[in-house]
Structure formats: C-alpha cells, structure tokens
Amino acid sequence: MSELESIESEALGAVQAAADLAALDAVRVAELGKKGRISAFMKTLGKMTPEERQVAGPLLNALKTRVADAVAARKTVLEDAALDAQLATEYEDLTLPPPPEPVGALHPVMQVFEEMAAIFGTMGFAVAEGPDIEDDWHNFTALNFPEGHPARETHDTFFMNNPEGGAPKVLRTHTSPVQIRTMMEQKPPIRIIAPGRVYRNDWDATHTPMFHQVEGLVIEKGIHMGHLKGCLIDFVKAFFEVDTVEARFRPHFFPFTEPSAEMDVKYTKKGDSIQIGQGDSWMEILGSGMVHPNVLRNCGIDPDEYQGFAFGMGVDRLAMLKYGMPDLRPYFEADPEWTRHYGFAPWLTPTVSGGLS
C-alpha cells in the first residue's frame, strides 16, 4: 500500500470514528488544517520536478477532496444526531390526558333546552331569561289577564307570603312573563326564546308542581300567522329530526294572543314508542298566537306599527316524546341510575349541523 493510500484509509477511518463534532473537527485540522498531514504533502508539490508534479498533483488533490467530502458527510450525520438528541430532551407532551370516566350525565330536560336553543338560534332567536319569582303584573296583568278573570285560576298559582301587605308575589305559572320583561327592555325587532322552570299546584302521573317551558316571541313589522306557522313547523321537523310533519293550527283561547291556536301534529304509535310527523292521530304540542295588541300597548309598543307572534311549549313532555320516556315523575327524583340511563354527555353540545341528539 502506498503512503498516500495508507494516509487516506487512516484519515477516513478517523472521520468515521469521530463521535461528535469536536472530535470530527480535530480530525479535519489534523489532516486538512494549515499544519495538517495532507496539507504538508501538498506543500511538497512545490519542490517536485514538473514531471513528478504532474503525477502527484492530481493524486493529492483527489485525496484531499475525498477526505474533505468524508468530513462534510460525517458532519451532517453528527449534526442531525445532535439535533435529534436535543429534540428528544426538549420534547414537551402537549396532548391532553385521557378524559376521566364520566360520573354524571346531562338531564334530558337540559339536553332538550340546548337542542331548542340550537334550532331557534339558526333562525336568529336569542335566549332570554326572567325570574322564577314573579309579580302579579308580569305574570298576569301585563299579559292581558283581567283582574278576577277565571283564566288566572286555571293556572293553580303558588302565592308567596307577603309580610308587607299588597299584591303577593307568585312562582311564575308560565314563561310568558319573559315576553313582557323582554319587550320592556328591548326595542323591536325582537326574536327570543325563554327556557325556564314554571310552577303550578298540580301533582299526578302527568303533572308535577315544577316543570319546564320554552317561550318564544317575535316582534317585527309586518309579522303575520304565516310566519308563526312556518317557524313552528320548521322547528318541529328539526327537533324530531324528521323530513315531514303534518300539522294543524286549531283555534284556541289565550288572553295574551289574538288569534290564538294550539298546534297539533300527526303521530304514529309503534309498540311503546311514538313517531311524530305522520300517522293517523293528532297530538297537541304547543300553544301559540299573534301577540294581543293590549300586550304590546302594556309594554309601550305601538300595535299599529309592530306585530308579533308568540308560542309556549312544555319541555318535559316534548323530551318524553323524543326520547321515549314513559313517566314524568322520575324526572324530578334525582335518581343517578335514571339520569345515567336517559342522560346525555355534558360536553356534546347539540348543533343543527353537527347533530342534535
């Protein structure tokens, strides 16, 4: 083996053996640096005869290039390894830990409130709230229930003690007073739903002293019964997740709407479950009507300028219908087994596009 060949194999061996960048640089300096071994050989070229130089020059240059290439290649390998090592030590695990096992579940009534807010939200309705303890004016008088009118008695009102005398407060018998509160606070156009608890002195298989309603109110210019019907039919389709709903609006009486109508939908009974939309029987699902001019006037809205419609529905019964729950009473017994069985994951917020139930 010539001297140059052994230098090359030594140099390349040292390059491969360099375990880190500092060791590699030491090899580079020892071979190719100013005082390096290969550089020293290059210097001998000057002392050679032209013939000798013609032979030795290309050999030495090629050797120098091969060693320099090997150093560069090894450098890339060592730099990559150094970066990998740094990334491995500086790694932060940003993934969330697995969620805890769910211990509770969302009550079906709360789920249905969320579903209704999602459906009416897509139609431009905001959610409004009012107090559970109401005064007689908001709960009755402003809603056009005349003093002493028998309609007040049909509500089986719970009255609060009033030690100071005067008209006692009541536990609100319906969510309709939120209509009044909204119209007193906001200028039209108004488009709200008001979900909430309501109270009546009633207790049997289908009535509980506290239950839930969702109220709706639209006040704008040029509103008519067609808007009411379209809005409620669209709602029922979305809520029961069906394409067709046969509905009828049956004349009724409510003091705060004129005309008033109850909405019935067709349904089919299949074994124990009920399918809403089509079938041979009618079921009443909500009350509705055009807001009575007196109610608008009571809230300072000119009925010649603005019209509106309103509706109110019992949420507990709609939840029973949608989710096939046979009895109302367990709703309020706070039995965790029942809630787990019929309840919903609290973090699955219903949306119209992503799915309601």
By the criterion CB under 6 A, which residues form the site for ligand DAH?
174, 176, 215, 254, 257, 287-289, 310-312
Q: Give the integer Cα–Cα distance in Å for 243 and 275.
A: 12
CB of 262 to ligand DAH, least distance (A): 8
Residue nearest to ligand DAH (CB): 312
Q: How far is the CB of 339 from ligand DAH (least distance, A)?
A: 26
Alpha carbon distance 50, 264 (integer Å): 113
Q: Tell me the CA end-to-end span of the chain in Å, nearest whole number.
A: 83
Cα four-point dihedral sign 202, 207, 209, 213: negative
Our CB check for ligand DAH shows the closer of 38 and 315 to be 315
Spell out a b/e string for 125-142, using b for 16 or more CB atoms within 10 Å of the CB, else e.
Answer: beebebeeebbbebbbbb
Shortest reach from residue 344's CB to ligand DAH, in Å: 26
Number of residues assigned to the chain: 357
In this structure, what are the phi and psi dihedrals at residue 91, rounded to the nearest 5 degrees?
Answer: -65, 130
Q: Decide whether 24 or 194 has the Cβ nearer to ligand DAH.
A: 194
Q: How far is the CB of 178 from ligand DAH (least distance, A)?
A: 10
Which residue lies nearer to ligand DAH by CB, 277 or 312? 312
State both tokens at 249: 């609006």
Nearer to ligand DAH, 288 or 307 (CB): 288
Q: Which is nearer to ligand DAH, 14 or 193 (CB)?
A: 193
CB of 287 to ligand DAH, least distance (A): 3
Closer by beta carbon to ligand DAH, 38 or else 217: 217
Spatial separation of the C-alpha atoms in residues 319 and 321, rounded to whole Å: 5
Separation CA 64–CA 32 (nearest Å): 7
Q: How far is the CB of 285 from ligand DAH (least distance, A)?
A: 11
